[in-house]
Structure 1
Amino acid sequence: MIEQIHTKRLFLRKMKMADSYSLFKIWSDPEVTKFMNIINFTHEEQTKEMIELFDQLAEEHKAIRLTIIEKESNEIIGSCGFNSFDVERATAEIGYDFAKAHWGKGYASECISALIDYAFTTLSISKIEAKIEPGNSNSIKVVEKLNFTFEGTFQEYEESKESFYDIHVYSLLKEN
């Protein structure tokens, strides 16, 4: 499974327990978690539990989450990865989050492009999906910029934060 990926400005590596404080600062921001399937964290222990869950999912080859580090500052600025793998269908679902201070700098496109390349060249994935809440216009812009195709909307598809919500599904197919 993925250990690390380098891009021009970012270093993506397997999440470590030592990342918990920096990730807690990100995941405790309600604006960051607004479109995530978690409620903003209130204790660093929640972050440690999430890292343990990601480790378990990675061991089972079900998902992988990477810490995003800005090379210039060596600062943890978010996380990204594959929320799920479906080996039989050769599909993976991407996900990502960034500290608000790093929004609008093109980091999402940069890290997702690297994940796409890795999935298509190394993981034998042929289709990548992104599931995005309709109100998350920034993420919609990212996947559209990366040539994802809008497949449709699942109504009341996911439950999070004690209610069901619609989800847009976008996909990108591997070019043969």
Structure 2
Amino acid sequence: MEYFLKSERLGFTYWNDEFLHYAIDLWGNPQVSRFVVSEGVFSEADIKERLLLEIKNKRLYGIQYYPVFLLEGDIFVGCCGLRPYDTGKSVCEFGFYFKPEYWGKGFAQEAGMKVIEYALDTLNISNIYAGHNPNNKASERALKKLGFEYIEDTFYEPTGLYHPLYMLKQKKIFDKEL
């Protein structure tokens, strides 16, 4: 597999039409989707639509929630990346989804650090926001470890809940000022 970005254990590539099986494996898993949609699961049509949105975001904005693979064995583990938040102001939303068998192994932290570094150093993103389902405490901890700070709760229609919204604040991360 060819990767445009690598961390110690992970490789990042781009979603494409041939990756539908990876998208189904990730977003079709009820343990993953239960925090994303009120129904608890995505239909196959929803997953295809989500995949097409990621491909479109890459084409239009040069970013997406990049598919992430273990470097050892090219094993698909999830995705981590950026989405447009306010396209006119170079503002992005950061996020990640990992398959349950890879939870608790530090992959969200490792992938997040690499994506944030890439956003700041290569893409010159000015502001990065993130959110999570209020019931997903693991995502909350991961975002805080990455340097995100809570700013407000905002309504998220797909779950019908108010989700905490965070912003990557001006502080030292990765030994540099953000």
TM-score normalised by structure 2 residue count: 0.84
Change in 2 beyond 3 A, CA 1:112/1:75: same
Partner of 2:34 in structure 1?
Answer: 34
* Aligned residue in 1 for 2:68: 68
Secondary structure of the structure 1 residue equivalent to 2:51: helix
> What pairs with 1:140-151 in structure 2 (closer than 5 Å)?
140-151=140-151
Equivalent residue number for residue 59 of structure 2: 59
User: In the TM superposition, what is the alpha-carbon distance from 1:11 to its structure 2 partner?
Assistant: 0.4
Deviation at 1:42, TM superposition (A): 4.3
SS at match of 2:19: helix
Cα distance, 1:37 vs structure 2 = 4.3
CA distance in 2 between counterparts of 1:28 and 1:77 reads 14
Structure 1 portions without partners, runs of 5+? none
Deviates more, 1:135-144 or 1:21-30: 21-30
41 and 153 in structure 1: CA distance in 2 versus 1, 3 angstrom threshold? closer
CA distance in 1, matches of 2:89, 2:37: 24
Instruction: List aligned pairs for 1:10-159, cutoff 5 A.
Output: 10-37=10-37, 39-43=40-44, 46-61=46-61, 63-154=63-154, 157-159=155-157
| 1:171 counterpart (154, 163, 167) | 167
Q: Structure 1 residues 76, 52: CA separation in 2 closer, same or farther (over 3 Å shift)? A: same
Judge conservation of contact 1:62–1:85 (CA < 8 Å) in 2.
Answer: no
Q: Give the secondary structure class of the aligned counterpart of 2:143.
A: helix
Amino acid at match of 1:41: F
Greater mean alpha carbon deviation, residues 67-76 or residues 54-63: 54-63
Q: Is the 8 A contact 1:13 1:67 kept in 2?
A: yes
Instruction: Give 3-state SS (helix, strand or coil) of 2:134's partner.
Output: coil
The answer as to whether partners of 1:17 and 1:48 remain within 8 angstroms in 2 is no
Q: Percent identity?
A: 25
**2:103 partner letter:** W
What is the DSSP-based 3-state SS (H/G/I as helix, E as strand, rest coil) of the residue aligned with 2:157? strand
- Does the Cα contact within 8 Å between 2:147 and 2:169 map onto a contact in 1? no
TM-superposed CA distance for 1:133, in Å, is: 1.9
Instruction: Give me the whole-angstrom Cα distance separating, in 2, the residues matched to 1:137 and 1:123.
Output: 29
